[in-house]
């Protein structure tokens, strides 16, 4: 049975009067690759930084492998790869100096793998870090995080500065790493197609909580736009949490299925007695629908 690696209970975090995490509960299981979506300023970085022990919660708790950050053994901390939104590399060092310095803190550091990644992504180890492009700095951070051969990898918008080729190369590396080592990954992104390529679960952070958290395959099998003739049965439908707000246009009602159904769509429609026209919906459409749910 898969074990939870991260367990978050009733996490509250505010900056002055701005509450960013609002009694957030979440659990990430071993081996999952989770894509974390959320609008700008939804609190994704705050959540990831809190998991990494870089932000102190006001209330609630976050446990990694069953330990709060301050109780977590050093040996376990060394198995976490983290890439922040802004590079943390020492700009005045050469790439090789920086990596030689950093590797001392990680007993599981894989030097050969590190060198392979540098070569593959054409980052010269003789280059001074301040002279690297924004994308190269981001790749260097990723090289560092992957070279630990981490059990848990936390990536805050890791591909934001990368061109489509590099994004693909990076994503392929993550998949390979995860398959080989069973690494658990959480990565925040605004690029739904990237998430779809890599993740097996999707989470949406909204209003300070994880409002949606699903197996990607189950979700994709269910999401669809529906339209059907108005009937008194729509009252019953309205209470079903799997759909978005019902909208009426003349004699027709429309809605979307936004959460995995426990049964095939036609059986679900038959259960509610509706004869619906069903239009497929892709993940990007789904995200736009749930992101604007209460707008």
Closest separation in Å from C-beta 8 to ligand ATP: 15
- Under rule CB under 6 A, residue 208 binds ligand ATP: no
R_g of the chain computed on alpha carbons: 22
Strand, coil or helix: what is 59? Answer: strand
DSSP class of 99 = H
Question: Within positions 16 to 35, which residues make up the interface with ligand ATP, using CB under 6 A?
Answer: 18, 20
Q: Are the C-beta atoms of 160 and 127 separated by less than 8 Å?
A: no
Query: CA-to-CA distance for 207 and 199, rounded, in angstroms?
Result: 23
What minimum distance in Å lies between the beta carbon of 155 and ligand ATP?
12
Q: How far is the CB of 207 from ligand ATP (least distance, A)?
A: 12
User: Considering only residues 3, 10, 41, 176, which one is a binding residue for ligand ATP as defined by CB under 6 A?
Assistant: 41
Cβ proximity to ligand ATP: between 15 and 67 the closer is 15
* One of 15, 90, 101, 207 touching ligand ATP (CB under 6 A): 15
Q: Which stretch binds ligand ATP (CB under 6 A): 14-22, 109-117, 194-202, 276-284?
A: 14-22
Q: How far apart are CA 291 and CA 233, in angstroms?
A: 27
Give the helix ranges, DSSP H, for 55-185.
74-77, 95-102, 111-120, 134-147, 164-181
Q: Minimal distance in Å, beta carbon 247 to ligand ATP? A: 28
Rule CB under 6 A: is residue 179 a binding residue for ligand ATP? no
Positive or negative CA dihedral for 47, 51, 54, 56? Answer: positive
159: Cβ contacts below 8 Å, ≥ 6 apart:
138, 166, 167, 170, 171, 189, 191, 194
Closest distance to ligand ATP from the beta carbon of 43 (Å): 4
Q: Does 38 bind ligand ATP (CB under 6 A)?
A: yes
Residues making contact with ligand ATP (CB under 6 A): 15, 18, 20, 38, 40-46
């Amino acid at each position: 049975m898969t074990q939870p690696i991260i367990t978050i209970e009733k996490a509250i975090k505010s900056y002055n009067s701005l509450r960013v995490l609002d009694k957030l509960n979440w659990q990430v299981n071993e081996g999952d690759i989770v894509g974390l979506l959320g609008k700008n300023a939804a609190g994704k970085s705050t959540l990831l930084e809190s998991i990494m022990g870089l932000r102190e919660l006001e209330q609630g708790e976050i446990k990694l492998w069953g330990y709060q950050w301050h109780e977590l053994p050093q040996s376990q901390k060394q198995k976490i790869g983290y890439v922040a939104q802004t590079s943390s590399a020492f700009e005045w060092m050469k790439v090789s100096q920086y990596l030689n310095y950093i590797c001392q803190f990680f007993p599981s550091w894989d030097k050969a793998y590190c060198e392979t990644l540098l070569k593959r992504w054409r980052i010269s180890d003789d280059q001074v870090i301040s002279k690297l492009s924004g994308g190269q700095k981001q790749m260097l951070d990723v090289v560092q995080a992957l070279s630990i051969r981490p059990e848990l990898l936390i990536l805050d918008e890791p591909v934001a500065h990368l061109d489509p080729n590099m994004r693909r190369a990076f994503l392929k590396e993550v998949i390979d790493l995860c398959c080989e080592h069973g690494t658990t990954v959480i990565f925040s992104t605004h690029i739904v197609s990237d998430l779809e390529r890599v993740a097996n679960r999707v989470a949406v952070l909204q209003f300070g909580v994880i409002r949606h958290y699903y197996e990607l395959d189950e979700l994709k099998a269910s999401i669809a736009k529906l339209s059907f003739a108005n009937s008194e049965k729509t009252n019953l439908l309205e209470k079903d949490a799997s759909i978005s707000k019902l909208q009426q246009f003349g004699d027709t009602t429309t809605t979307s299925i936004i959460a995995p159904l426990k049964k095939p769509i036609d059986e679900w429609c038959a259960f509610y007695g509706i004869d619906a026209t069903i239009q497929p919906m892709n993940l990007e459409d789904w995200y736009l629908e749930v992101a604007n749910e209460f707008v």
